[in-house]
Structure 1
């Protein structure tokens, strides 16, 4: 794994600059972990919807799909706002 500053540990930055770079890296990995967790939750909701459909529980299926759609919409909005 590369160091937070991307130099492989061969950097001549000041300690403050290194800490700032490390902080950005940690925040980025936390954000990625949260996004993965949300994506997994969206997939679980689609599985819940499939199960509800198989059991002929239309209202439960619609509710699960709405939850999944909401999670995906939030993920897409976050991704687009981060790229701007």
Structure 2
């Protein structure tokens, strides 16, 4: 009986810590927001620049976020 009660209490503690960590992760951008820019090129490449206190950090390619980055049709002939 004691083991069942201990397991139930452990389950509630794990759930509480999970909810607390999710709350901190969701509130983090609201407490300290960072500016970012999406830069598109004519070749379809996309770059995400995050401006931090230390400088600008390039995050690399993500997905096609804007119609200008999408290729209109098949690739050009060689």
Structure 1 length normalisation: TM-score? Answer: 0.38
State which structure, 1 or 2, has the greater radius of gyration over its C-alpha atoms.
2
Structure 2 length normalisation: TM-score? Answer: 0.41
Higher relative contact order (CA 8 A, sep 6+): 1
Larger fraction in helix: 1
